[in-house]
Amino acid sequence: MQVLKTEQESGIITLTITIGDDDHMFDVWVDEDTALVEYQETCSWRGQIRVSEPDEDIFKELMLSDEMTEFLDEHDCQSVKRAEPKP
């Protein structure tokens, strides 16, 4: 497992977690003292793109990653919630 962090702007990042042959991308941003996480897409090594929610294990690995912990500490977040998907 590998997690890559890309800063979009202050308080907004994209985290990509690679597990097996899949890259799962999430946007994370701060709303007051809460970090909101929104799933974006999953890309496979064969070029397939999926937008259905990944398994709960993927979310768990993301939440336990050093990159997520660093972001939460940096912005003094007290909680993490899944954001409602935007159409």
Positive or negative, the Cα torsion across 81, 28, 15, 22?
positive
pLDDT single digits (tens) 1-10? 899 999 988 8
- Sketch the domain layout of the chain as residue ranges: 2-82
Which residue, among 38, 32, 28, has the nearest Cα to 82 in the 3D structure?
Answer: 38
pLDDT in the model for residue 86: 64
Indicate if the pLDDT at residue 87 is higher than 60.
no
Provide the 3-class DSSP secondary structure of residue 66: helix
pLDDT band at 45 (very low <50, low <70, confident <90, very high): confident
Whole-number pLDDT of residue 1: 86
d(CA 54, CA 47): 17
pLDDT at 68 over 70: yes
pLDDT digits (tens, 9 = 90+) for 17-37: 999 899 999 999 999 999 999
